[in-house]
Copies of this chain bind each other. A is one copy, B any other.
């Protein structure tokens, strides 16, 4: 059985080794040394020190032309060369969620160029978005990125540029966890 729901288990062992954990905004998380990503259905035992759960879903903002560009260039997760990763759990404020779809879209793309910026770093940076606001989690999104060590500078550039956008003014909790394949 396939699932769209995954547990990000932070603890003392796992497939990914934690290099750094930085609190960008809001409350910190307990430090861990390793991370495992497991299908939620099969994960009844391994809860680690903390577990963040999220699900993949349909696209919420990307329009057809943007989506076609993304599909054309994006890479799958799990490339052997992509030994660097980042898990960046994010929560947005109530003000963000109280907005209607068109207002959120306007800030997301017209003002903040979220998809356009992401596209600039494809195919080097592979990424996947997990949603968790609706399932009682402490974050709204778990953003996951994989890249090769030689693309580390480009990844820093991507993260930096998103954090200066108008969209990011609505981010009220953000933890930046960097990892390497264990």
Contacts and interface: CB of A to CB of B under 8 A. Distances in A.
A136 B5 contact: yes
Given A62-B100, A64-B102, A131-B134, 18 more contacts: A4-B134, A4-B136, A5-B134, A5-B135, A5-B136, A57-B134, A58-B133, A59-B100, A60-B60, A60-B101, A61-B101, A62-B101, A63-B101, A63-B102, A64-B100, A66-B100, A134-B134, A135-B135
Interface string A57-76: 11111111011000000000
Nearest to A41: B136
23 contacts: A3-B136, A4-B134, A4-B136, A5-B134, A5-B135, A5-B136, A55-B134, A59-B101, A60-B101, A61-B101, A62-B100, A62-B101, A63-B100, A63-B101, A63-B102, A63-B103, A64-B99, A64-B100, A66-B100, A67-B100, A101-B105, A131-B134, A134-B134
Contact of A135 (B55, B60, B67): B55
Contacts of A59: 100-101
| Interface core residue of A67, A100, A131, A135 (most chain B CB under 10 Å) | A100
Contacts of A55: 134-135
Interface size class, chain A:
20 to 34
6 cross-chain pairs, A with B, having the tightest CB-CB distances, nearest first: A63-B102, A64-B100, A67-B100, A55-B134, A58-B97, A57-B134
A142 B34 CA distance: 39
Q: How many copies does the complex hold?
A: 2
Nearest to A140: B58
A163 to B, nearest CB: 23
